[in-house]
Amino acid sequence: MTDTPPKTPKVDSTLSKGLSILENLAHAPSGKGVTELSVELGLTKSNTFRLLQSLTTLGYVKHLESKAYAATLKTWQIGRASVDNLNLRELAAPEMSFLSKETGETIYLAVPEHLGIVYIDKIESQKPIRSWSPIGGEAPIHCVGTGKAILAANYGSMRERIKGQLTRHTEKTISSIAALDDDMNATLARGYAVDQGEFRERIWSLGAAITLPSGESIASLGISLPDVSMPENGLDRYGSLVANCAESVSAKLARR
């Protein structure tokens, strides 16, 4: 007797189309019109319009003065709540402890928030000269190690959003999209991001992305220290350490 393969659950057509519109708008910084969305998603204009009206009524989409439609922060809030429910602090605690013991420097766990990052956990350095940012502290995504790691992993969907928002904080801050393109390519190639005083003078940091099985980064691990504390060959060693630890946390997420 052969086993009957399980039936694939039916997907509600209207729900599927509505979610495809929401996902599309979530990656469109300037919003999109009905015609553009209908062409990209293969929907009729009338169907697209009706779904947009429903999403607007529910608060997930807003109608701009330009007549385009854009995703609201409600979409982001749901995504952020989902990240919080993953218990990232608990999952990453062993790796953070390992990094602290191996380097003696400040260790951070960060999550993205708009075009920045927020530190949701940390282990303090015990050294007399150290870097410092509090839990709950924020930093621009394009000029710290934890942020650049997330940005590199999600660059396909974030490039247009970050373009034109590259605020300068020190002489070393990357402030052109061409230079950022190069830096993101280098980050992906080596597996970790490097900040050599781009946000705060003489404070260096390294970060590596924590990713979902889809490849999307929802968080990152980072090591932060004053430049005078960086040992010889420290960039390569610390970079490899943080990359391996971030990969370990990502593997835990994949098993959940």
User: What is the pLDDT at residue 70?
Assistant: 87
Average pLDDT of the chain, as a whole number:
90
Helix, strand or coil, per DSSP, at residue 223: strand
Q: Residues of 15-39 as b/e, b for ≥16 C-beta within 10 angstroms?
A: eebbebbbebbbebbebbbbeebbe
Helix locations, 196-233, DSSP H: none
84 pLDDT tier (thresholds 50, 70, 90): low
User: What is the pLDDT at residue 130?
Assistant: 76
194 pLDDT tier (thresholds 50, 70, 90): very high
- pLDDT 10s digits, 130-170: 777 888 899 999 999 999 999 999 999 899 889 989 999 99
Concatenate the DSSP letters of all residues of 19-74 into one string. Answer: HHHHHHHHT-TT-B-HHHHHHHHT--HHHHHHHHHHHHHTTSEEE-TTS-EEE-HH
Q: How far apart are CA 94 and CA 151, in angstroms?
A: 24
Work out the average pLDDT over 80-101: 86
Give me the residues paired with residue 121 across strands: 109
User: What is the pLDDT at residue 76?
Assistant: 65
Work out the average pLDDT over 179-189: 98
Helix locations, the chain, DSSP H: 13-26, 34-41, 45-57, 73-84, 88-103, 145-153, 155-162, 177-190, 234-255
User: What is the pLDDT at residue 126?
Assistant: 84
Which of 9, 18, 228 has its CA nearest to residue 125? 228
- Checking if the pLDDT of 86 tops 80, the result is no
- Give the count of beta carbons closer than 10 Å to the beta carbon of residue 93: 15
Lowest mean pLDDT among 24-33, 93-102, 140-149, 246-255: 24-33
81 pLDDT tier (thresholds 50, 70, 90): low
Q: According to the per-residue pLDDT averaged within each range, which of 60-74, 120-134, 156-170, 176-190 is highest?
A: 176-190
- Checking if the pLDDT of 234 tops 60, the result is yes
- Checking if the pLDDT of 242 tops 70, the result is yes
Q: Which residue has the tokens 């660059």?
A: 155
> What amino acid occupies position 255?
R
| Rounded (10°) angle between helices 155-162 and 177-190 | 160
Q: Comparing 12 with 206, which gets the higher pLDDT?
A: 206
User: What is the pLDDT at residue 1?
Assistant: 45
pTM of the model: 0.74
Helix, strand or coil, per DSSP, at residue 1: coil
> What backbone phi and psi angles, to 5 degrees, belong to 244?
-65, -40
- Checking if the pLDDT of 18 tops 90, the result is no
User: What is the pLDDT at residue 6?
Assistant: 56
51 pLDDT tier (thresholds 50, 70, 90): very high
Q: How far apart are CA 148 and CA 128, in angstroms?
A: 27
217 pLDDT tier (thresholds 50, 70, 90): very high
